[in-house]
Amino acid sequence: MTLSTPFTAFRIHNDAAGYRSGIESIVLDALNPGEVVVKTAYSSVNYKDALAGTGEGKILRRFPLVGGIDVAGHVVASTDPAFKEGDAVLVTGCGLSETRDGGYAEYARLEARWVIPLPSGLTLRESMILGTAGFTAALALFRMCENRQTPDLGPLAVTGATGGVGSLAVDIFSKAGFEVHAISGKPENAGYLTAIGARKVLPRDALATTRPMETARFGGGLDNVGGPMLASLLAQTVPYGNVATAGLAASADLATTVMPFIIRGVSLLGVASAGTARDIRDTVWQRLASDWKPAHLDTICTRETTLEGLPEVFRTMLAGGSFGRTLVRMG
């Protein structure tokens, strides 16, 4: 691989010609500077990728950029002694497809400080079925456990359970010993959710209350939806349970009161996976490769595509048709 060797990338532009994205031929020098050059094996599709690739959300802070907030592959060159040619590595978040070129290309040039050696116990393919979605779900559990969440507090609710983060949360939480109640508006997928670890599958109206406090029925949970469902989950969480918030698929608004917090001691924990500190990032990936490794990754990976298939995947995801995880395969 030389600086002038062309390769394929899915690139996003926003200029006088408008907002657009698609496959281009570029060279390494077109990418942001970085110490580690990786030949990409896999990436994935997250909701954030769909927003970035279509312009439906203000994700990118500079243009043009290669899309894709996840990447995994093998090192082909490194000026950092921590990495050598042939090393299997991954990066999720850390500015990819926001301020830096991302993983939707045959090669990626990355900052060494964010490159994670592939943990023993994961393949490159598995690492990208997980990707940002799995890391987010595991980071939520990490934060809850840091705040004394235990299975004895009761079941963990997961909203948006058939999506990428939700599906992986169901699997990860159950693998970690928690009873999981999946909240979904797609009853036809109840069998899928129980197959990946949900003890119960509840309809959305389980979180339809508008009262500030309800009978406590959940030990806590992970919300990917926002809005009234998050408020209702807080109102139904047991004393000193934790609710992690990681998404806003329905709404960024949160109309609630302080009552769950000051009467039951409930904690609302934010999960911002993209900027997670390196030491925590390393710890979470080690857990994902060992005792928290999902048992049903092949089931959760419901689709594989190439760079050419990305626009259609984006459209499906933004139309509410997201189901499980989509893996992006290079070559």
Residue 64: per-residue pLDDT: 98
Residue 309 lies in a domain: yes
Residue 315 lies in a domain: yes
For residues 256 and 307, membership in a common domain is answered with no
How far is the C-alpha of 47 from the C-alpha of 201, rounded, in Å?
A: 23
105 phi, psi to nearest 5 deg: -160, 160
Q: Distance of alpha carbon 330 from its chain centroid, rounded?
A: 20
For residues 147 and 260, membership in a common domain is answered with yes
How far is the C-alpha of 195 from the C-alpha of 207, rounded, in Å?
A: 23
CATH of the domain at 113: 3.90.180.10
Residue 40 lies in a domain: yes
Residue 209: per-residue pLDDT: 87
For residues 18 and 147, membership in a common domain is answered with no
Residue 11 lies in a domain: yes
Residue 108 lies in a domain: yes
For residues 43 and 172, membership in a common domain is answered with no
Residue 123 lies in a domain: no
Encode burial over 306-327: b for 16+ CB neighbours within 10 A, e otherwise. Answer: ebeebbebbebbbeeebbbbbb
Residue 320: per-residue pLDDT: 86
**pLDDT per residue as tens, the chain (331 positions):** 676 899 999 999 999 999 999 999 999 999 999 999 999 999 999 999 999 999 999 999 999 999 999 999 999 999 999 999 999 999 999 999 999 999 999 999 999 999 999 999 999 999 999 999 999 999 999 999 999 999 999 999 999 999 999 999 999 999 999 999 999 999 999 999 999 999 999 999 999 988 999 999 999 999 999 999 999 999 999 999 999 999 988 888 999 999 999 999 999 999 999 889 999 999 999 999 999 999 999 999 999 999 999 999 999 999 988 899 999 999 7
For residues 236 and 210, membership in a common domain is answered with yes
Residue 1: per-residue pLDDT: 61
Q: Which helix (H) or strand (E) holds 276?
A: none
For residues 99 and 149, membership in a common domain is answered with no
Last residue in a domain, options 226, 258, 273? 273
Look up the domain containing 57 and give its range.
Answer: 7-118+300-329
Residue 331: per-residue pLDDT: 73
Q: For the full predicted model, state whether its pTM sits above 0.95.
A: yes
Pair 131, 325: CB distance under 8 Å: yes
For residues 256 and 304, membership in a common domain is answered with no
For residues 186 and 110, membership in a common domain is answered with no
Alpha-carbon distance values, 260 to 52, 212, 253, 271 (Å): 36, 7, 17, 19
CATH of the domain at 198: 3.40.50.720
Residue 251: per-residue pLDDT: 87
- Going by C-beta distance under 8 Å and a sequence separation of 6 or more, which residues neighbour residue 70? 43, 44, 46, 90, 91, 92, 93, 96, 102, 103, 128, 131, 132
Number of domains composing the chain: 2
Residue 262: per-residue pLDDT: 98
For residues 254 and 320, membership in a common domain is answered with no
Residue 280 lies in a domain: no
The region that residue 329 occupies, defined by phi over 0 for left and psi between -120 and 50 for alpha, beta otherwise, is beta
For residues 187 and 258, membership in a common domain is answered with yes
Pair 175, 292: CB distance under 8 Å: yes
Residue 248: per-residue pLDDT: 86
For residues 209 and 149, membership in a common domain is answered with yes
For residues 112 and 11, membership in a common domain is answered with yes
Residue 268 lies in a domain: yes
